[in-house]
Amino acid sequence: MMPVHPPGRSMSDTLAENTAKSILADRIGFDEVWMGEHFSATTEPFPSPLMFLAGLVSQTKNVTLGTAVINLPNHHPAIVAAEAAQFDHMSGGRFQFGVGSGGLAPDFELFDVFDGAVRQRKFLESIDLILKIWAQQPPYDLQGEFWKIQIKKTIVPELGFGGMPKPLQKPHPPVHVSIGSPDSPTARIAAQRGWGIISGPTAPVWSMASQWKVYSEACHAAGKPVSGANWRVARNIMVAPSDAEAKERVYGEHTANRHYFGYMRNALLLGKRLSMIKPRREMTDEECTPDALMDECVIHGTPRTVLDKLIAYRDSVGPFGGLLQIGVDWSGPNAAWEREGMTLLAEQVMPKFRQHAAAQAQAAE
């Protein structure tokens, strides 16, 4: 869940809605729940994914809880390190640490990180500092371009002074980074450092395939195993009793999917980044409509149709090991549609899709 809601909805309503969706996912067999972070958009009103996920710890039993993502340039790394370590303990180790450099223009302005090169340097410095904090005991004397982390003068071991929290999982929770652009350089960095990658829901097939190519080649070059288990792909998915119903629930005038892709199209156009989600490289901005994006990015149909489309999609982009269904707004009939779609996906599609992926992996050995 980014999540994307109509700007007029109250935060109380959307918090309750996304909590209900997470509890449903846990009950019907989903493996993971991920929540995003944005500070300055009423459409994506969740400045603290860790705070939201903390509310789910006692209400869920099976799902791991992930941040998708904490935008590291917006935070002091010592705060992120301490809070993430605390949450790992609170969740009993059901935590996946998703991080990124950010993607929302008003957040860039709010935190003065409009410069993309600066933003990327801050991101890399922050994650390096966080991992160092988790890996060592005081004293701390970590010097970076943007942050200085120091505890040297006030260390009192018998009082516990100077020690920073360490995660429950050793050496630390799994690290994942978000990937949005074609031929992503972040995918190369993730491969070199042994992190997982999460490919975003608006990436077209050609871009998604390029992300896996970069990641897998960088793994080979670094002497690390190449495994689709470290790659999660996010997609809008609508499963319905008939193909016609599924199509109407995606393309209808008031559907949450239409709102979602209209929002994403306009947001990226304003940010001068529409080219990264165009289904064809040569497509003009005018041709890149919400309908064109839905044609490319939404997988819809009956359970049988969706299974066939997922198999064909995985054959096209690469052997992803995790499929993330994007949660959409539940206004009007969309709540009933997505509840039914999530249940059909979990109970009728994924068992067979897992079997297919397992058989492919065995045949490749």
Residue 160 within a domain: yes
- pLDDT recorded at residue 362: 86
| Domain extent at residue 55 | 1-173
Residue 344 within a domain: no
Residue 268 within a domain: no
Q: How many domains does the chain have?
A: 1
Q: Partners of 143 in the beta sheet?
A: 148
Q: What is the mean pLDDT of the chain?
A: 97
pLDDT in tens, 172-230: 999 999 999 999 999 999 999 999 999 999 999 999 999 999 999 999 999 999 999 99
pLDDT in tens, 305-343: 999 999 999 999 999 999 999 999 999 999 999 999 999
- Chain center to CA of 294: 19
- pLDDT recorded at residue 364: 79
- pLDDT recorded at residue 116: 93
**The model's pTM:** 0.96
Tokens 């071991």 — which residue?
A: 157
Residue 11 within a domain: yes
Residue 205 within a domain: no
User: Rounded CA gap, 130 and 70, in Å?
Assistant: 13
Residue 313 within a domain: no
pLDDT in tens, 240-296: 999 999 999 999 999 999 999 999 999 999 888 999 999 999 999 999 999 999 999
Q: DSSP 3-state helix, strand, coil percentages of the chain (rounded to 5)?
A: 50, 15, 35
Residue 62, pLDDT above cutoff 90: yes
Residue 263 within a domain: no
Lowest mean pLDDT among 27-31, 79-83, 183-187, 270-274: 270-274
3-state SS, one letter per residue, for 306-344: HHHHHHHHHHHHCCCCEEEECCCCCCCCHHHHHHHHHHH
Q: What CATH number is given to the structural domain containing 98?
A: 3.20.20.30
Residue 39 within a domain: yes
